[in-house]
Structure 1
């Protein structure tokens, strides 16, 4: 019986194309293999999720809050046009996008198996763990399957601006991500100057916010979560700023002075 079980686990590992690395923890739905800290935190967060009875956006707010203080680490994911993609699950450090990946997946999950499946569906188009299917751009969450959130930016104010972006195409030629195509997409954003109290009042706790960038070939430069708090509206994010270098709550009005505008995706 043990031999059969081992063979089945090996087959599952091959199907998902995963390899265990000492520096990063990978997982499959059948046999999660996680570092101890991540394993404990997943259990704690799933217990929290299962204790909540309100809307999923409340879960996003509470789950994301448990990551405050988590160190910022860049380039957390493994895979490229020349290197096989690996499903990374590592809560010891997050970048701004993996932070949102984990929170989004946890908010939909009741157990570890569901969490891994939801992480795959959140991070990869059509649930295929491949570099070419990774959702590299923030707006992929709204425009590729499985849709994680709806783009509501245009509905928040008539001051929203729409521009066609050639995602992945550098202004001077070439691509940001070799091996991936250029995707033409209309990106709608709200200029920071138009983010008055009425517009901010239209945001809801749990909304995903992307900092629009004027840079050619990119939709946003940073992402986070809108949280309404007694201290005012906050932009909860995995910040790479030297003053932070961890997950923090940044006053939204303060953050708006540093970016051209916002793209708003609402969890579905």
Structure 2
């Protein structure tokens, strides 16, 4: 990808820090969102999320609505497009995953950034499509447990919460890990994308932007991830070729806008959404402060933003329907 122009003086520091704060979910200004390690009745310590009443109400309302609309009969991508639209107007809130204490799953539907929007819409859509979802919704704890198991599959390497570095911080890593496990299919290569040869090292070269990177073991693990990503064939579709393949992009496809900032792979994420024959981006942008649908087409939006130069396209996969039971049974 092309490199950005140099920014002189202290402004360069501001640009770098702002990118870190916005794109990588920097520490929040409050501690409204917390996550805890739950000790169940059998004495088994598990990393799980904390649900407040508003989170549960949002979840229950959206899942009930989706089931009532028969969305469970649609492809997962189609469900994502519809559930994603139901989040329009939800506040943009960065940093919700950065909480004090050991890494654990965060549940928050009240405020979303561009990545947590994609993750939660994907996980909620898979919950809706699971066999017996309507029945499970009547058992709050079991429904919460089942949703957590799905969300963890998307957010963490191999679907397992195992410390800060197990979270898929770089979105090209997110796509690759979810692709490897059959949750999405990266179709960027199929659409004749090109290989991104730029090194990935933003986090390890800006450790002061991440509270968890005061721990040298975390830095070492993050560097290992960066080295692997830098050596991999990360394929993206350049911005000037998006219109050539736009008809191959489906509702609900996950769109990752590639970054021109040195060391950073992806600048923004969202969902593909067709409206009246035009492909738009359904996303949670910093500008606008809420989940919204892009006013312009996806191609126009990418082309006019200097810090973005192409897209990665990941298609959610229709897996065999899971049985909607508590992930903690047995």
Report the Cα distance in structure 2 between the residues aligned to 1:7 and 1:150, rounded to whole angstroms.
36
Could you tell me whether the CA contact under 8 Å between 2:77 and 2:315 is conserved in 1? Answer: no
Shift of 1:131: 1.2
Out of 173, 180, 195, the residue aligned to residue 242 of structure 2 is: 195
* Residue 78 of structure 2 is aligned to residue 58 of structure 1: yes
| Match runs of 1:93-242 below 5 Å | 93-109=111-127, 110=133, 111=136, 112=143, 113-129=145-161, 130-144=163-177, 146-156=181-191, 158=192, 160-169=193-202, 173=205, 178=213, 179=218, 180-181=222-223, 182=226, 183=228, 184=230, 185-196=232-243, 198-230=244-276, 232-241=278-287
Q: Deviations over 1:91-129 (max 9, x none)?
A: 110011111110111111135232111001111112222
Out of 77, 88, 101, the residue aligned to residue 106 of structure 2 is: 88
Secondary structure, aligned partner of 2:107: coil
Report the Cα distance in structure 2 between the residues aligned to 1:84 and 1:126, rounded to whole angstroms.
18
Shift of 1:58: 1.2
Report the Cα distance in structure 2 between the residues aligned to 1:8 and 1:265, rounded to whole angstroms.
36
| Partner residue in 2 for 1:249 | 293
Unaligned runs of 5+ in 1: 1-5, 19-25, 28-33
Report the Cα distance in structure 2 between the residues aligned to 1:114 and 1:108, rounded to whole angstroms.
10
Give the TM-score normalised by structure 2. Answer: 0.66
* Residue 87 of structure 2 is aligned to residue 67 of structure 1: yes
Secondary structure, aligned partner of 2:40: helix
* Residue 59 of structure 2 is aligned to residue 42 of structure 1: yes
Question: Larger % of helix: which?
Answer: 2
Greater relative contact order (CA < 8 Å, ≥ 6 in sequence): 2
CA, structure 1 residues 116+174, in 2 after alignment: closer, same or farther (shift >3 Å)? closer
Report the Cα distance in structure 2 between the residues aligned to 1:153 and 1:133, rounded to whole angstroms.
25
Shift of 1:174: 6.0
| Partner residue in 2 for 1:263 | 312
Secondary structure, aligned partner of 1:139: helix
Could you tell me whether the CA contact under 8 Å between 1:188 and 1:263 is conserved in 2? Answer: yes
Unaligned runs of 5+ in 2: 1-37, 128-132, 137-142, 318-330
Could you tell me whether the CA contact under 8 Å between 2:272 and 2:280 is conserved in 1? Answer: yes
Secondary structure, aligned partner of 1:239: coil
Could you tell me whether the CA contact under 8 Å between 2:258 and 2:267 is conserved in 1? Answer: yes
Could you tell me whether the CA contact under 8 Å between 1:165 and 1:186 is conserved in 2? Answer: no
Which segments of structure 1 move beyond 4 Å, counting only runs of 4 or more? Answer: 173-177
Could you tell me whether the CA contact under 8 Å between 2:239 and 2:299 is conserved in 1? Answer: no
Report the Cα distance in structure 1 between the residues aligned to 2:291 and 2:269, rounded to whole angstroms.
12
Report the Cα distance in structure 2 between the residues aligned to 1:98 and 1:170, rounded to whole angstroms.
19
Secondary structure, aligned partner of 1:11: coil
**Between Structure 1 and Structure 2, how many residues are aligned?**
240
Could you tell me whether the CA contact under 8 Å between 2:39 and 2:46 is conserved in 1? Answer: no
What do you get for the CA RMSD once the two structures are aligned?
A: 2.5
Shift of 1:49: 3.8
